[in-house]
Structure 1
Amino acid sequence: MMRACGAEGPTEYNPGLELGAALGVLARQGRDKLTLVVPENLSDFGLWLEQLVAESTGKQGTGILPLAGDPLSAPAMYGSDRVFVHVSYENQPDEENRQKVAALQAAGHPTITILLRDALDLGAEFFRWEVATAVASAVLGINPFDQPNVQAAKTATNRLMEVVEQQGQLPQTSAPVTSENGLDYYASVSGTSAEAVLKAFFGQAKPGDYLCVQAYLMETPALNAELDALRVLVQQRLHLATAAGYGPRFLHSTGQYHKGGPDTGLFLQLTTDHPQDLPLPGRPYTFGTFQNAQAAGDLQALQDYGRRTLRVHLGSGNTEAGLAELLKRLKQVLV
C-alpha cells in the first residue's frame, strides 16, 4: 500500500489518490456526509476514521463529516448529501450490509467498497485513508495538518476551571427554558414546554443538515441502544444525517468539524449529575466537576460560532430512564 500510494507509482493505480479525489469531488458537489458501513468487528475502525477525517477537513466553513455507527435505512431515507463507504472482509459474512449498499447504489447514491483479506490489511488501510484524507483536503483547498478551532472549547473550559479554583464550584448557568419530568431544557429557542422547545429546535433543520448528539454520560450498552434509537428516529422522521459521541472524547475527533466546518449541525448535548463522583488528585474539584466544565465550555464555544444548540440535563436519577423520557417526547414531536 505504501508503494502504491507513493510518488513513484502510476497515479491511475494509486489507492489513496483515487479514494481521496473521489471524496473531495463528492464533497464539493454537496455530498459531504461520509457514511461508513462496516461489520461489528470493524466498528472501532470507524472511531479512528472519525478523528482522521473530521479533524483534518473540518475547517474554514467546509469539510467532510464521517458518520460511524449510523444505522443503515432504505435508500429513500437519504438526501443528496451522502456518500457510502463499505469496508468489509472478503471471506467473512456481511451479507446484510452488502445488500443494503447494493440497494443504495441502485438508487443512485455514490458507494465505495473496500474489501480486506484479513485483519493484517488494517495497517495498509490506515495508510490509504491518511493519504486519501490529505488528497481530499487538497481538493477542498484546506490544510489538513492544523486544528484552528479545537482550542476554542479548551479555552472556554479553562476559564470555567479558573472560577472553580477560586470559588470551589462552577458558576451558575442561566435557568432552563423549561423543566418537565426530571429533565431540564436549555436552549436559545423559546418555548414554555418540552414539546414546544423540541419543536422549535428541530424545526430549524434544513436539507443537508445533520444532528449531532453529544452525550456527556457514562457509556453503557443500554445507553448505546437508546442513542441508536434516537438516531434512527431522527433519520426516519426528518431525513437528517445523525452523529453521536461520548464527551469529552469527541472533542479531539469531530470537535474541530463542529466548530470549523460548515454551519449545518444541530447539536443536542446531554448532561447529568454525578452522584458517585471521585476527587481529582491534586485538584480542589472532582472528575464530575471537570466533565461538567468541559461540557459547558464546548457548548459555549459552539454558541460563539453561532451553532444551533439544545442542552438537555437528565438530572441525578437513572440516566437510561432520563434518555428514555427524552425519546418518548421526541416520538410525540417528530411526526
Structure 2
Amino acid sequence: MTIAITASGAAAEAVASVVPTLVGDLVASGITVQDPSLWGPEAEAEAAKRLGWAEAITVSAELVPQIVALRHRLAAKGLNNFVLAGMGGSSLAPEVITRTYGVELTVLDATEPGQVLDALNVDLEHTVLIVSSKSGSTVETASQRKAFEKAFSDAGYSDVHDRIIVVTDPGSPLDRSAREAGYVVFNADPNIGGRYSALSAFGLVPSGLAGADIEELLGEADAVTVELAQDRADNPGLVLGAVLGGTTPLRDKIAIVADGTHIQGFPDWAEQLIAESTGKLGRGLLPVVIGVDAPEITEGLHDVQIIRLVASTEETREVAPGEVEISGSLGAQILTWEYAVAVAGRLLGINPFDQPDVESAKVATRSLLDGEPEPVPAAFTASGVDVRGAGGIDLGDSLESAVEGLLRHLTDDGYVAIQAYLDRVAAPGAVALRDALAARTRRPVTFGWGPRFLHSTGQYHKGGPSNGVFLQITQIPETDLEIPGSPFSFGTLVAAQAAGDATVLAEHGRPVLTLTVTDVAQALPILLGALR
C-alpha cells in the first residue's frame, strides 16, 4: 500500500460501519469518473465543473518539461530567486511541496506592509515573481503584482517580461492582461477549484520553478490512483473519508499533528481543504493544526479526532487509543486527502466544492476601502494594546477582563480562533498564543495568519457551526507601503480586511475581540500573560 492508515476507537468504528456502504454505492469509482451526482441534486451543477482534480495527474504531466525548461532558461539569465504572489490554494500547496523538497520559495500570501517589503527587498536583482490566481481579481495578489512591477521598473530592469510568470485560468482577466504585457502564462484546468489544485499548474509551476522534483511528485500521486479508484474496503480515500465524516456522534474537530513525517507543513494545506470544503450550512469539520505537545492531545475531548502524520515505516506501531495514524509520500497524501474530503462531504450532506461565505469578507473589505470610514475608536488601551469588541462581549477595563469576556461565550462544543494579522516572517513567535489559550480553555484553538486564513478557515468561521469565538490580533505597521495605481496602501488594506471580517463575524452572531499592537515583539509577552 502506498498509503497506510491505522485507526482506533471511534474512528475505527466509523471505518467499519461506513466504508461498506461507500463501497456498495460505488463512491470511489464515481469520483474517479467524475460523477457529479454523488453529492445530491443541489450540488450537481457545481460538482460537474469542479472534479477535474481527479485526472490532474494525467493533464499535468505535459507541464513538467515546460516548467523544467523555463527554470533552466531563467537560471541561465541569473534569475533564481522565486517569490509567489498567491492566496489560499494558489500558495498553500506550493509551500508544502517546496518545503518538503528543501528548495527555496518565498510565499507572499500577505498584505502586511513589512512582509511585502521583506519580499521586495531580498535579492530583487535575481527575483522572479510568480503571480498565481484563477481570475487575477484577488485583491491581495493584484496588489502584490503592482508592487513588484513598480519595483522592477524603478530598478531599470529591461527584462520584466522574464521576471513575471503567471498561472491562471484560460480566458481570465489575468490571462488576457498578462499576455498583453508579454509575460509567460501557464493556464490551469478551470474545472479544478483552488483548494483541490495542488497537482495542477497552481501547485506545480511555482514548485517546479523553485527546483522541486515535480515529476517525482506526480509519480507518487499516480502510484495511489488505482487504490483510490477501486470500490474496496481498504481504499485509503474511503477509509480516511469515513474517519473525517463518519464518526457517531460526529467528532467535528479534526486535530492534525505532524509526528515524524518527512512532509513539511502538510497540516496547513489540509486545513484549507477540509474547512473550505465542509464548513457550510451550519455544519462541517474544523481542522485544528497542532504540535506533538498540544494540550488538545491529552484532554480527551469528546468532539476531537486526533490524526497523526507519521513516517513511512514497516515496523508495527501501536496507535494511541482513539487516534488515527497516516503515512505515505507527499503526492499520495495529497490525492488521498482530496478523495477523502470529497467523501466526507457526501457523508455530511454538503457540497464540498463551493465556498458560499468566502465572498462576504471580501465585500466588507471593499466597502471599507471605498467608503474610507473613520477607524472605530478603541474601547480602551491597556499596556499599549488597543482593545475593541464586537458581538456582545463585555470587555471590562483590562486586557485580562476583555479576554475573559470573550471566553464567556465559549461553549462545551465550541472553539477559539486566533486570527493574527501580523508579519509572519518577523513574528513567528505569535503561534505560542495558540497553546497558551488551548491550555487555559481546554478546548480546540486554531491559529491563522491574516488575511491568509480568509481563503481557508474563513469559510468555516461564517458558514460552519455557530460555536466559535474569535481573537483578532492586528498591528499598526512601523512602515507602510503604497500600492501603485490604488487609492489605498497595504497598511490600509490589511486593516480593512481585519475590520471587514470582524464586522461579518459579528453580523453572524460570532463574538470578536480585537487587540491592536504597535511593537509586536514587545506586545507578545503581554498578550501571553493575558491569555494565560
TM-score bracket relative to the smaller structure: 0.7 to 0.9
Deviations 1:69-100 (A, max 9, x none): 344337542411111111122259xxxxx89x
Aligned residue number for residue 245 of structure 2 = 24
In the alignment, the residues of structure 2 paired with residue 304 and residue 112 of structure 1 have an alpha-carbon distance, to the nearest angstrom, of 37
Alignment of 1:294-333 (within 5 A): 294-314=497-517, 316=518, 318-331=519-532
Aligned residue number for residue 203 of structure 1 = 408
Q: Higher relative contact order at CA 8 Å, sep ≥6: structure 1 or structure 2? A: 1
Match of 2:429 among 210, 225, 243: 225
In the alignment, the residues of structure 2 paired with residue 296 and residue 78 of structure 1 have an alpha-carbon distance, to the nearest angstrom, of 35
Match of 2:256 among 36, 45, 53: 36
Deviations 1:27-55 (A, max 9, x none): x6241111111147534111110111100
SS in 2 for 1:215: strand
TM-score, normalising length: structure 2: 0.54
Question: 2:263–2:330: 8 Å Cα contact kept in structure 1?
Answer: no
In the alignment, the residues of structure 2 paired with residue 131 and residue 74 of structure 1 have an alpha-carbon distance, to the nearest angstrom, of 27
Question: 1:79–1:208: 8 Å Cα contact kept in structure 2?
Answer: no
TM-score, normalising length: structure 1: 0.85
Alignment of 1:279-290 (within 5 A): 279-290=482-493
User: How large is the RMSD of aligned CA atoms in angstroms?
Assistant: 2.1
Deviations 1:115-155 (A, max 9, x none): 22xxxx21111111011001101110000010000000001
What is the CA distance between 1:325 and its match in structure 2? 1.0
Question: 1:77–1:236: 8 Å Cα contact kept in structure 2?
Answer: no
Letter in 2 for 1:206: T
1:141 and 2:384 aligned: no
Give ranges in structure 2 of 5+ residues lacking alignment: 1-223
Question: 2:256–2:287: 8 Å Cα contact kept in structure 1?
Answer: yes
Alignment of 1:1-335 (within 5 A): 1-6=224-229, 9-26=230-247, 29-38=249-258, 39=260, 41-70=262-291, 71-73=293-295, 75-91=297-313, 102=319, 105-106=320-321, 110-116=322-328, 121-164=329-372, 171-188=373-390, 189-190=393-394, 191-220=396-425, 223-228=427-432, 230-314=433-517, 316=518, 318-331=519-532
In the alignment, the residues of structure 2 paired with residue 271 and residue 286 of structure 1 have an alpha-carbon distance, to the nearest angstrom, of 16
The structure whose Rg is larger is 2
What is the CA distance between 1:327 and its match in structure 2? 1.3
Question: 1:30–1:80: 8 Å Cα contact kept in structure 2?
Answer: no
What is the CA distance between 1:4 and its match in structure 2? 1.1
Q: State how many pairs are aligned.
A: 303
SS in 2 for 1:243: strand
In the alignment, the residues of structure 1 paired with residue 458 and residue 264 of structure 2 have an alpha-carbon distance, to the nearest angstrom, of 20
Letter in 2 for 1:35: A
In the alignment, the residues of structure 2 paired with residue 193 and residue 161 of structure 1 have an alpha-carbon distance, to the nearest angstrom, of 31
The percent of aligned pairs where both chains have the same amino acid is: 37
Deviations 1:182-223 (A, max 9, x none): 1111113221332322221112212121111100000136x3
Which stretches of structure 1, 4 residues or more, deviate above 4 A after TM superposition?
none
In the alignment, the residues of structure 1 paired with residue 387 and residue 435 of structure 2 have an alpha-carbon distance, to the nearest angstrom, of 22
Question: 1:186–1:312: 8 Å Cα contact kept in structure 2?
Answer: yes
Give ranges in structure 1 of 5+ residues lacking alignment: 93-97, 165-170
Deviation larger for 240-249 or 83-92: 83-92
In the alignment, the residues of structure 1 paired with residue 261 and residue 472 of structure 2 have an alpha-carbon distance, to the nearest angstrom, of 26
In the alignment, the residues of structure 2 paired with residue 74 and residue 195 of structure 1 have an alpha-carbon distance, to the nearest angstrom, of 23
